Amino acid sequence: MDGKRYPKAGCTDNGTKIKILKANQHRYAVAALCRCLGISRHYAYYQCKTTKRKSIAHYADKILTIFKRSYQSYGTRRICIALQAGISVSRRYIARVMKSLSLVSKYTIKRYRGYQTASNSSVTANHLQRQFDVGTKQ
């Protein structure tokens, strides 16, 4: 023997089991490996996350260039459409990045502004000669 001690499969810690799973994942089914190693599939997939979300700094330059190129008029929806050429990022994630960079669009939603027109309460002639006294009962 070379002097190394090899632990039994049941005595290994979960970190070692995950390393074994990652090494043999391309050869065997994950469910079969999990059964042999005595770990749940949920735990295996939880530990073997392959796609991690990139940091905000990764998308910040692209969002900032699109925002400046639009003369600070694009909001999250339009930036999301502009980014769809190569990157799949949600609108809320773009909003989070914009908030961290303190980017605010110049334009907001156009709101309804009521305006006053000529009303129909113009003074008309008193043809019936009616008299109204305010504050008295009849």
Is the residue at 21 inside a domain? yes
Is the residue at 90 inside a domain? yes
Nearest-CA neighbor of 94 among 75, 107, 108?
75
61 and 93 both lie in a single domain = yes
* Residue scoring higher pLDDT (106 or 1): 106
The mean pLDDT value for 89-118 works out to 84
Q: Which domain holds residue 77?
A: 56-100
Q: What is the pLDDT of residue 54?
A: 65
- Helix extents (H) in the chain: 14-24, 30-37, 41-47, 56-69, 76-83, 91-100
Q: Which two tokens stand for residue 111?
A: 């709101």
Taking only the tens place, the pLDDT of each residue in 60-84 is: 899 999 999 999 999 999 999 998 8
Task: Tell me the three state secondary structure of residue 78.
Answer: helix
Is the residue at 72 inside a domain? yes
Contact status, residue 74 vs residue 107, Cβ threshold 8 Å: no
pLDDT at 44 over 80: yes
Q: What is the dihedral of CA 81, 85, 90, 93, to 10 degrees?
A: -90
Q: What is the pLDDT of residue 92?
A: 92
Q: What is the pLDDT of residue 67?
A: 93
41 and 60 both lie in a single domain = no
Is the residue at 113 inside a domain? no
CA–chain centroid gap for 83, Å, is 14
Taking only the tens place, the pLDDT of each residue in 49-62 is: 755 566 777 888 99
Q: How confident is the model at residue 128 (pLDDT cuts 50, 70, 90)?
A: confident
* Residue scoring higher pLDDT (30 or 119): 30
Cβ contacts of 60 within 8 Å, gap of 6 or more: 97, 100, 101
